[in-house]
Structure 1
Amino acid sequence: MKKIIIIWIVLTAISTANILDEKVRNLMQESNYQSHKKLTKILFRNKEQFYKNEKLNLPKIINTLKENGLLKLNHSIPKKMELGFKVSKNPIKTIKIVEDIFKSMGYYYIFTKKASLTKDGIFVWTINIQTKNMPDPSELIKRLYNQNIKVVDISRYGKNSMSYELETSYSRITAMQVVPSNKIVNLKKPFKEYFLSISPDSYEINIKSNNQDRWYPYIVYFDINLQVLKVIRKKTKIKKLATTIPTATRYIKIGDNFNLKNIKTGLTVMIK
């Protein structure tokens, strides 16, 4: 019995070491790994320190590589970078969150290369960005975590391609304005469309534009997963609008049907 336990412990230790080594090797890429093999073995010799709850501690692994100049993310000239995201739940909401995160990191031009659903129901979203620097994985992990999204795994496919597996069951959008019920809220000059979070029992929204503006309403209602419930577009100028909020609405996007300059002094809203 003791021999069996010892064998099991040894095999577990070997497996744990192999998984860590493979991940480090993948993130560094083969030629870089071979050039710094001795240093890598020293840095990751205490393998148990790079695990958390029996799983790889990806932030610690990545930060260790970065701090020692072993994670090559930069180029001398702009290159086409490819990033993939694998999501099992809330794909539309995840796209919104990831796009906002990239913009906050300075990546404004994001092009969808492919969006597909696997036989297992996994949504795979692949994007391209033109940049000198591959988005920093540790920064991306941190910002996703702030939106209640956990990075389960990261894989690298060459210098210019990375894939992220995400757990999004409890994701939330923080880049929005929370509007309480039965209170008048003044929305300031918009630099992009307003994105509001409302109470699940809300049933009516009242919107008023300022006298000096010319508002042509554009309103989109979303559920908790950012599925579109209803869209309102008006081609005529309106000063006041009161409309029913669809059942299950949690988010509302408000803009102008033609140009945000038409509401340059903002809007006033009240949710009932």
Structure 2
Amino acid sequence: MVKKGLLVWLLALAAFGDNIVMDRVRTLMDEETFAAHKKLIDLLFEDQNSYMRSSSVDMVKVATTLEENGLLNLALPSARQIELIFEYGGENPLFFMKLMTDTLRNMGLSFILTKEARLEKEGFVWRVTFESKTVPDPVLLAKRLEKNRAVVTDLERLDAAEWRYRIEMDGAVVDAKPIRAGESLKIVRPIRPVWMEVGAIKRLIIRELPGSHWYADVVVYDKMLRILSMKQNETRTRYLNLRLPADAAYVKIGDRFTLENLRSGLKLTAKGEK
């Protein structure tokens, strides 16, 4: 009798898993497409346990399967306002917004507007909008985030032009170029401020190269992107010797007025190993 009851419970649990996977598949599609391709969808997601990650559905894997089989429709009939909602449950919204901004920019989305930035007990919510004929590829976005050790844990299509993401950033890192003690490198004609990873050094020397006309705009951050110090010069800067605090993790280097001033670039030299 006990064995029979256990079997019934296991079958019910399996059926629940099947239902939850297919329910989540439907959230990434419009009803017409789902109905038209139901047989193919049933075949693609026949092994539904393989789309489970612990007790939740691996929505990036679901989206990948749909995309590979031409079932993830991201095109819109005409240009309209697209809204992306990013949810983050951690304690560092500045870090989160930088990582997301960099990721979207690397996908070609440079002109986004913040519709809402809200800090709640459950975490941080950032809504952005922009006009386009195509919704950003969620599979590509997830892969780009993975490069910075961030993970899309949930994904939902709320509307053809409105998508929601839940993102985990426990091991995430800023997209910054590392520099070690004794190394030198050049920054030439940057199109945006340059981020350097400086957690392993004590000093960073920055020299203006001939042909440039630099007005220093340099900010030092800790690993949580809290500002530790900054240098913003109204006069030309030919040489800057930054003594980095023990908890310095990143340095952002730009120009006070315009990056066009760095036509010939800057030379960076790292000194002192931590």
Q: Same fold (TM over 0.5)?
A: yes
* CA deviations over 1:3-46 (Å, ceiling 9, x no partner): 23112201211210121011011111334323433433333233
Residue type at the aligned position of 1:17: D
* CA deviations over 1:183-218 (Å, ceiling 9, x no partner): 333322322212111125x33322111233221110
Is 1:270 the counterpart of 2:272? The answer is: no
Give runs of aligned pairs for residues 1-272 of structure 1, distance below 5 A. Answer: 1-89=2-90, 90-120=92-122, 122-174=123-175, 176-200=176-200, 202-272=201-271
Question: What is the CA RMSD across the aligned residues, in angstroms?
Answer: 1.9
Partners of 1:39 and 1:212 lie apart in 2 by 62
3-state SS in 2 of match to 1:71 = coil
Residue type at the aligned position of 1:237: R
Partners of 2:205 and 2:65 lie apart in 1 by 52
How far off its partner does 1:259 sit? 1.3
Q: Structure 1 residues 250-259 or 44-53, which shifts more?
A: 44-53
How far off its partner does 1:107 sit? 1.6
Residue type at the aligned position of 1:18: N
Paired residues in the alignment total 269
Displacement over 6 Å in runs of 4+? none
Unaligned runs of 5+ in 2: none
Partners of 1:240 and 1:143 lie apart in 2 by 36
Partners of 1:129 and 1:238 lie apart in 2 by 37
Give yes or no for contact 1:211–1:239 (8 Å, CA) kept in 2.
no
Unaligned runs of 5+ in 1: none
TM (norm. structure 1) is 0.91
Partners of 2:210 and 2:50 lie apart in 1 by 63
Give yes or no for contact 2:58–2:153 (8 Å, CA) kept in 1.
no
TM (norm. structure 2) is 0.90
The alignment-based identity, stated in percent, is 29
Partners of 2:229 and 2:165 lie apart in 1 by 32
Partners of 1:44 and 1:204 lie apart in 2 by 55
Residue type at the aligned position of 2:101: E
Give yes or no for contact 2:155–2:166 (8 Å, CA) kept in 1.
yes
